Structure 1
Amino acid sequence: HALVRGIPPRAVMAELFGRRDGCSRGMGGSMHLFDAERRFMGGYAIVGETYPVAIGIAYGIAMRALDDVVICFFGDGAVNQGTFHESLNMAALWRLPVLFVCENNRYQIGTEIHRHSAVAEVWKRACAYRITAKKIDGMDVLTVYQASRDALAQIRAGNGPQLIECETYRFRGHSMADPGSYRPKVELKAFEQNDDPLNIAIAETVTRYPTPEELGAAGPDTIQRLAGHLDQGGHVSAEELAVMQREVGEEVDAAVRFAQDSPEPTLADAEAALACNRHGEVLV
C-alpha cells in the first residue's frame, strides 16, 4: 500500500530497518509507516484502528466537498472490533466517501475465520448498514482492479460508502516466527494448485506430501496469475516479464543497501517528532 501511494522503496525499507532516512524517520517501523505528503495515512499496531481514522478523513473530505475517496484496508482478524461496526454505521449515516477493503486470508494471524466469527462472510455485515458490498477473488489482480474502479466511481457519484471483501489465501505463516503448522497440508496444496481439496486428498493416497522447499516454489500466486494473463493476452512477452522481475530484484537489493547505510535516528529526532504538528496543522 505504501508503494502504491508513491513512497520510494528505499524509504520504506529504511523505515523497516528503523533508520533515519525512512518515511517515518525510523521511529515508525513496520507497524507505523506514514507519509501525509503522499496521502498515505499509515498503518497501526492496534487492530482495527484504521476505521475511525478513515472516517475522520472522509468526513473532512465531505465537509470540503472534495472529489476524493478514502480507501480503508483491513484484514479478517479486525472485523470483530467494535470500531468496525461503529465506523460502518457513521459512514452509511453520513454517506461518507469511503471504500472499505477487507483482505480476507481466512486465518488472521493463526485462527481460522469460522472459529472467531459467527458470520464468516465479511461482506454480509455491511448489508446491515445498507452499504453496497461484494466478495471477489482477491487473488486475481484484474478482478480487484475492475471491482475497485467500479466502486470508486459509485462513491464519487455520491452513492455512499462501499465494501469489497477480497477472498485471498496466505501461503506462508503470519511472520518468520510462524511455521503455519495449524493449516492442513492438503488445504495449502489445494490453494497452490487451484484444485479441490478432496481431489488433492485422493491424490495424496498414492503420492507423497511436497517438501517445504517445493511448497515455497509452488503457485499460482497473485503475481504468477497476473503474469499469465499478460502473457496470454499478448501484452508482454516472457522475455519482458523476465526483465521486469530482474529489475524489481535489483531495486529491492538497492533499497536494502540504502537502508543499511542510513543512520539511526537520534534523540533530537524523537524530540522533534513530539513537537511536530502541535498546533493541529492540516495534514491532508
Structure 2
Amino acid sequence: MPFATTPSRQSLTEHLVRTRIAGDVATPRENNRSHYRKLSEGDRYFWFGLELGDRWTDEEDVLAVMAERCGVVADPAHRSGQDTIDPELTVDALDRAATRLCKAADGGQRVLLATGHPGGLLDVHRRTAAALRAAGCEIVRIPGGLSADEGGVFQFCDVAMLERGATLWHTHSPAPMAAILDALEERGEPLPDLVVADHGWAGCAGERGIDAIGYADCNDPALFIGEAEGTVSVTIPLDDHVVDPRYYDPMTAYLLDAAGLNPQP
C-alpha cells in the first residue's frame, strides 16, 4: 500500500501487520519449530555461516531468543498453527539499523549489499545502496568471475546475488559471501566496513568480524542468535517474501529517513 510520504512509526507498524510482513505471518509454527530444532541439532545449513559451537543445543533456548528478538509465540507447547513476528520489534530493529547506516554515511564507509532472497528483498537492498552512494559511501564492487554453490556470484544494481542458469537464486548459503570476501583479500582490497544483507550472506560477514545488518524471517533463527551473541550487529525480523515486494517500500523509506538519508526511487 503506497504512502505519499515517509510513514510514521505507527503507520509503518500498521502497514507491516496489514501486509503480513509482521504480525500474523504466513510462515507456520511447524516450520519455525523444525528449523529451531535443526539448528540446535547442529545442522550447519541453518547456521548461516555462523560458528555456534555447542552453545545452542537446546531447542527451547533457541525458541526463547526468537520470542525475545523476533516476537514468535513464547509458549513451548505451541507447536502448530499460527506464529507471529512482533511489528514493534521490527521497527526497533530498523531504528538500530538506521543508526549504523548513518554512521556509514557520515564516515564515507565501504558498504557491501547482498541478498539470498532476490524475489523479496532485492529492491530493499537496491534502494539502500543508492541512498548510501548518494550520501558519499563507497559501494563495494565485487570481483568478477566468482562462483559458489554451482552458481555465479555477481552484482546487479549494486547488490550481490547468486545466479544459476540465468535465474536469480534463493540461497541460505554463506559460500557466496565467503567467495567475495576471499577474492577481495586475495586482490589486496580492503574488506567492507559494513555489510547489509540477509541469510548466509549476513552470517558469513558477521563471522568474519565485519559489521553486519541482516534481515531475517521467523524460521531463520541463526541471525537472531548472532545478534544475541554480538556477532551480527542488527537483525531485522520480517517475513522475507510476502506476496508483493512493493509492500516493503514504506519500510525502506522509513529506514532511510531514520538514517538521515534521502530515500532513493
Fold shared by both chains (TM-score > 0.5): no
Structure-1-length-normalised TM-score: 0.27
| Structure with greater proportional strand content | 2
Q: TM-score, normalised by structure 2?
A: 0.28
Structure with bigger gyration radius: 1
| Bigger RCO (CA 8 Å, 6+ sep) | 2
